[in-house]
Amino acid sequence: TPRVFSGMQPSGDLHLGNYLGAMKRWVDMQDAGQHETVYCMVDLHAITATLLDPDTLRQNTRELCAGFIAAGIDPEKSILINQSQVPEHAQLAWIFNCIARMGWMGRMTQWKDKAGKNAEAASLGLLAYPALMAADILIYHATHVPVGEDQKQHLELTRDIAAKFNHDYGVEFFPIVEPVIEGVATRVMNLQDGTKKMSKSDPSDKSRINMTDDADTIARKIRKAKTDPDPLPGDVDGLAGRPDARNLVNIYAALAEIEPQAVLDQHAGALFGHFKAALADVAVAKLSPISEEMARLMDDPAEIDRILGRGAERAREITVPILEQTYDIIGMIRS
């Protein structure tokens, strides 16, 4: 069976974009049963931009694990892991650091955004970030990677690294991965500005819905979301040039698991005041059970650590042999 891999940073503040663009789709792929699924908290990536306080990193990682499980990832059906507990990720990343070219890394938009004008002061890990991401995926020989739109460039780099490794050593060893960027929620937008993506780095908390927001907070943020004065159109073409309106319709569609056109069929002609109340109901119905379950799981951190330990054991049944073969291809002595 083909294998799926995807990861998320334990940087705190899980938001609706992470849920609709990634987690929810991971659960769908797990439940469809067409693939073996591996899902990962990438703690090694989480320290690339800035070092976190150690207790905060531990707390964020457990909270993310609780979020995955609460959203429907079943640690029996999927392999659920924390990156640093499966050391082969970092070991393969070193090899990929020697495959990837400086020029490729410098062209990554995430690097340019995060390092900004002061690249001299950025960590070497931030530059190498995408090579570690390639290793995350390829240490499982995974072929399908469900992510949001913003990860597309990193997955192209993953393909380039695999192709160069295979070419340089004259082997057909690493697969060329397929990004899985599908559905209406691969780019959930900022509630205060429909031309920017929803992100944890926006200073305004009103710009996003956090997975831990309570029902009142969710309803208030949706009520205050930016919109235009026109009523909802009758078809999706009518959303052209209306990014804020389109975003709310897409969020509704993704949460209710229907097409955007079906949302408009139900709400054509409605004013936003009315539509937002309906959207808040759908959002609260979907998200509240997840945040309650997350809180419940967080009451037992030892159980979360046990799940991660078991996940790492299962993962290493796959990663240890693939690393051994890689070292062998390269000419490193195994004795």
Catalytic residues: 114, 197, 200
Which is nearer to ligand TYM, 162 or 185 (by Cβ)?
185
Q: Which pair of structure tokens corresponds to residue 288?
A: 């509240």
Q: Which stretch binds ligand TYM (CB under 6 A): 14-22, 91-99, 274-282, 307-315?
A: 14-22
Nearest to residue 31, comparing CAs of 137, 146, 117? 146
- Shortest Cβ 208–ligand TYM spacing (Å): 8
- Shortest Cβ 7–ligand TYM spacing (Å): 3
Query: Which residues ranging from 40 to 99 are in contact with ligand TYM (CB under 6 A)?
Result: 42, 45
Q: For the window 106-135, what string marks contact with ligand TYM as x by the rule CB under 6 A?
A: ---------------------------x--
Contact 209, 283 (CB under 8 A): yes
- Shortest Cβ 329–ligand TYM spacing (Å): 22
Q: Does 191 bind ligand TYM (CB under 6 A)?
A: no
DSSP state letters, 241-260: T-HHHHHHHHHHHHHHTS-H
- Main-chain dihedrals φ then ψ at residue 102, nearest 5 degrees: -55, -40
The label of the residue with tokens 């995955």 reads 68
Tell me, by CB under 6 A, how many residues bind ligand TYM: 27
Q: Does 14 bind ligand TYM (CB under 6 A)?
A: no
Contact 254, 20 (CB under 8 A): yes
| 198 labeled binding residue | yes
First to last CA, the chain: 32
Q: Does 6 bind ligand TYM (CB under 6 A)?
A: yes
Q: Which pair of structure tokens corresponds to residue 249?
A: 């319709």
Long-range CB contact pairs, 111-119, < 8 A, 24+:
114/49
Q: How remote is the C-alpha of 122 from its chain's centroid?
A: 23
Q: Does 152 bind ligand TYM (CB under 6 A)?
A: no
Which positions touch ligand TYM (CB under 6 A)?
A: 5-9, 17-18, 21-22, 42, 45, 133, 136-137, 145, 147-148, 150-151, 154, 185-188, 197-199
